[in-house]
Structure 1
Amino acid sequence: MDDLLALLLPPLPVVVAVLAVAGAALPAAVTGGGTRRWFGGRGESRRAEAQAARDAAAQAFYELDTAQRGLRISIETITAVDASPAARQAVDHFAELGRRIDQVSEVYITAVDAHDLDRDDLDPSVAARATGELNRAKDELARVKDELDRYEQGLAPLLGKAETQLARLAPARERAKAALLAASNGLDAARASGLRADELAARLAALGPELTRLNEGAGQHGVAETLQRADRMLREAEAVRSEAERLPERAAEIDKRLVSLRTRAQALAHRAGGVEPVLSELRRRFSTACWQDLQSVPEQAAANVRQAEERLGEATLAREEQRWADATALLGTVRALLNGSDEAVSAAGDRLERLNAVAKDPQAEVERTRFAIRDAQLLAMAGRSTPDPRHARPLDDSVARLERAIDGLEGRHPDYWHFLQETEAVRTTVARVVELIREDRGAGR
């Protein structure tokens, strides 16, 4: 802290410089000097009183100067770390006190310079006048000292906060430097395992100028900025170290995903080849509405598999070049392509299976849906003589919707897929009503 403040402290105001001028006036306890004997009865007594007044004024001047010096250090400590309105107000107040100190100090110096109290022929009237002037100067110095003391008491919260900030400075700087060293060691270990870690090395190198500024210290860049810089460097260096330590694991994970996704793409290509026979059976046995939306599945699945294989090739190259972020992004694209195609291919087989089941026994789907409706109706009537319209209306609508879906099965080529969609929609509506009933019961409604 002392080094920082030495850089930040500007020259002291006039009051400090005048110590050299007034040095002769300091009391014996301060200067180590003394006064000559002056014989002459009443005149000697007046002279002794004047010298005592001079010594008392010098002591008051010395105490005021000492207090001002200490407070100036406190002010510089605060301004080094705090730019708040309260801190600026404290600085302005200190400057105002400094002007007041200069004024009373000038009065004191003038009084000291006006009279040579060590002269052998000092006139008693002059000694008396000097005593009065010096006592008044001493009283003014003491009053300003009291003002300075009260100001110092009010400054305590700001000073405490500033000193806390300064106390954080050295540890924060050392933590940042230690983190940089750990990151550098982590990079060396990664490279020793055959990984280049170029991206991490570039991120670490970018911290070089920041380290230079950190070493230049708070005296040049300010305490607050230096603390922020140290914190940023710490976070970035720790991130680099963590990623460097995880790099071998990340490389192994990418290698594993490359193998897994390549195998999955091959399996999906094989499964996509089986979609066309499924579509042929759907066309042969069911109405157009039951399979029309699946017509593009084989072509789209094949295109997605080809695109996935292309991205896999790019991901493999990125892995070889150790462009880890690119490899990870490409593998994510591959996974999305395969997921979409897998769902579409599975949908064709699932559609045929569900249509076969409902064509064989549509009544099973009807009973399943009716059971859900009846169960919801019983719940809606539990403990009530009449159901809540908010519950009854959607349930009645669901009954009517189910009947319409059943009527749609009549004819030579029924749309079983529409029937399945309708019964599923009815069950979804019923489930929402059941949830609403339970929420209302839980709330006491």
Structure 2
Amino acid sequence: MVPTVVGGDLRGESVTVTTARSWWRRGDNHRAEAQAAKDAASQAFYELDTAQRDLEISIETITAVDDSPEARRALAGFRSLGEQIDQVSAAYIATVDAHDLDRDELESSAAARARTELTKAKDELDKARAELERFSAGLAPLLGKAETQLARLAPAVERARQSLLAATTALDGVRAAGLKADALAARLAALAPELTKLNEGAGRHGVQETVRRADEVRRKSEAVRTEAERLPEQARELDKRLVSLRTRVQALGNRAEGVEPVLSELRRRYSVECWQDLQQVPERAAQAVRQADTVLAEARRARDEQRWPDATAKLATVRALMDDVDGAVSAAGDRLRRLNEVSKDPKAEVEKTRFAIRDAQRLAMQGRSTPEPRHARPLDDAVARLDRALAALEGRHPDYWAFLTETAAVRETANRVVANIREDRAAGR
């Protein structure tokens, strides 16, 4: 300090006043630099806190949807990173608390030390934020997948509710039309607990489980709605089938009564071998018609009681019985017709069979000087079988049915040889 004489007092004595140069300005500069460092550290702390909160939301989104090993590792990594951030944040807060920059008697050295420590705290905060951002960037695939599933949640739940409402409306319409739908109503009622869980939300049951449940409720509700809407048409169709099958049963019953005269003619004109397998046809046909009548009455009761599955099943039984009767009755008439034809002109059957053999022989010789033995042998046997079958008709009571059976078997042999030749040639053999 340089003393300066500025004047004297009333007694004429001089007064010396010490003049302060720039030391206080330098002190204020240190305070300002320390304050700037504090503000920068505060901003870094805020940015780190914001980044951590954003990452926490991302982690919550992922873990709400995904329980995979990758998601569990992400959660563990976030918790570990959170512990590091807590340490850095605690160090920053301790540094701020250790330096009162608003104190009047703050010394330059204290201000400089505060600036240094606050700058270091800021650097640590920035470093932690950078690490947080790198970690967050690595979560992008998991987060994208989770957000996609979350985006499905609300629409899936809404579709489930709308489907349930549509099914309820369709069921009400069916009942208003006087049709029972107890089974459908039971299936719809069974969805009530699932709807309750949907209303409880994904927070309680998880996103994936809620989406799965919503899809299941929607699917089952749509099935109920579809069946309910189809029920009136199903009832009309069932009524038509009842009438149609009743008419068919009556018609087949009348036809079955005509089997006995056919058998009588077969017995009178042909050997026992030609008709003995048809002896039980009249009894079987009559029994099948009686059984069909009984089942048809049961089907009518099931329809009146609106037990639709039972009615449909019984109608299927009636149809099967009628098919059996139809085949048996037709077999008797067809047997008589074919026997009449062959007894009048066996040569027509022989020529038809020989044509099949010759056709197979021509194919076997095509492009060859001699046929393959495995093709020629069965054809030679077929010729011999046909000759023997024709010779058997020369007796007093020829078995025309055995003749027809044998010629059909010979033609089948020829057809089988043709198929084998074509397969060999297609394969390049």
Is this a same-fold pair by TM over 0.5? yes
Q: 1:394 to 1:70 in 2, by over 3 A?
A: farther
Superposed CA offset, 1:190-223 (max 9, x none): 2232212222222222222222222222122221
* 2:393 counterpart SS class: coil
State the shift of 1:443 in Å: 4.5
The Cα of 1:166 is off from its aligned counterpart by 1.5
- Cα distance between partner residues in 2 of 1:261 and 1:60: 87
Say if 1:364 and 1:225 are closer, same or farther in 2 by CA, change over 3 A.
same
Alpha-carbon distance in structure 1 between the residues aligned to 2:422 and 2:195: 62
| Of 21, 43, 49, the match for 1:65 | 49
The counterpart of 1:311, out of the listed 295, 304, 308, is: 295
Cα distance in structure 2, aligned partners of 1:73 and 1:389: 83
Is residue 236 of structure 1 aligned with residue 220 of structure 2? yes
- In structure 2, how many angstroms separate the alpha carbons of the residues matched to 1:390 and 1:133? 103
Which secondary structure does the structure 1 equivalent of 2:106 belong to? coil
- Aligned residue runs from structure 1 range 199-218, under 5 A: 199-218=183-202
CA deviation string 1:100-132 (max 9, x = no partner): 212222222222222223222234343333333
Alignment pair present for 1:262 and 2:249:
no
Cα 1:411–1:55 shift into 2, 3 Å: same
Structure 2 residue 117 is the aligned partner of structure 1 residue 152: no
Distance 1:400 1:60 in 2: 107
1:89 to 1:356, Cα distance in 2 relative to 1, 3 A: same
| Partner residue, 1:419 | 403
**Counterpart secondary structure, 1:409:** helix
Report the alpha carbon displacement of residue 351 of structure 1 after superposing the two structures with TM.
Answer: 1.3
Rounded Cα–Cα distance in structure 2 between residues aligned with 1:428 and 1:144:
88
Letter in 1 for 2:199: N
Partner of 2:162: 178
Task: Work out whether 1:289 is the aligned partner of 2:273.
Answer: yes
Structure 1 distance, partners of 2:266, 2:140, is 86
In the alignment, which of 326, 350, 356 is matched to residue 310 of structure 2?
326
Q: 1:168 aligns with which of 152, 167, 186?
A: 152
5+ residue gaps in structure 1?
1-38
Structure 1 counterpart of 2:112, which letter? A
Q: What corresponds to 2:421 in structure 1?
A: 437
Instruction: Determine helix, strand or coil for the equivalent of 1:151.
Output: helix
Query: Residue in 1 aligned with 2:329?
Result: 345
Secondary structure at 1:40 match in 2: helix
Write the letter of the residue equivalent to 1:321. Answer: E
1: CA distance between counterparts of 2:403 and 2:213? 67
Provide the rounded CA distance (Å) in 1 between the counterparts of 2:83 and 2:389. 96
Structure 1, 106-115 or 327-336: larger mean CA deviation: 106-115
Once the two structures are TM-superposed, the CA of residue 288 in structure 1 deviates from its matched residue by 2.8
Q: 1:88 to 1:403 in 2, by over 3 A?
A: farther
Q: Distance in 1 between matches of 2:413 and 2:112?
A: 109
The structure with the largest alpha-carbon Rg is 2
Query: Is 1:362 aligned to 2:346, yes or no?
Result: yes
Q: 1:397 to 1:101 in 2, by over 3 A?
A: farther
Tell me the distance in 2 between the aligned counterparts of 1:127 and 1:300.
117
1-structure distance, mates of 2:199, 2:367: 78
Residues 305-336 of structure 1: per-residue CA shift (max 9 Å, x gap): 11111111111111111111111111011111
Q: For the residues of structure 2 that align with 1:193 and 1:393, how far apart are their CA atoms?
A: 72
* 2:159 equivalent to 1:137: no
CA apart distance, 1:69: 0.6
Aligned-residue offset at 1:432: 2.8
Alpha-carbon distance in structure 1 between the residues aligned to 2:358 and 2:34: 115
1:110 to 90, 94, 107: 94
The structural deviation recorded for 1:371 is 0.3
The code of the aligned residue for 1:257 comes to R
C-alpha distance 137-253 of structure 1, shift in aligned 2 (>3 A): same
1:402-417 alignment, distance < 5 Å? 402-417=386-401
Distance 1:150 1:418 in 2: 91
Give me the TM-score of the superposition, normalised by structure 1. Answer: 0.85
1:30-65 CA distance string (max 9 Å, x none):
xxxxxxxxx834443333333222222221221111
Q: Equivalents in 2 of 1:117, 1:408: separation in Å?
A: 131
Question: Which deviates more from structure 2 when the two are superposed, residues 369-378 or residues 168-177?
Answer: 168-177
- Give per-residue Cα distances to partners, 1:164-189, cap 9 Å, x unaligned: 22222222222222222222222222
For residues 362-385 of structure 1, give each alpha carbon's deviation from its aligned partner in whole angstroms, at most 9, with x where no partner exists: 221111111011112112222233
In structure 2, stretches of 5+ residues that fail to align are 1-22
Residue 182 of structure 2 corresponds to residue 187 of structure 1:
no
Aligned to 2:7: none
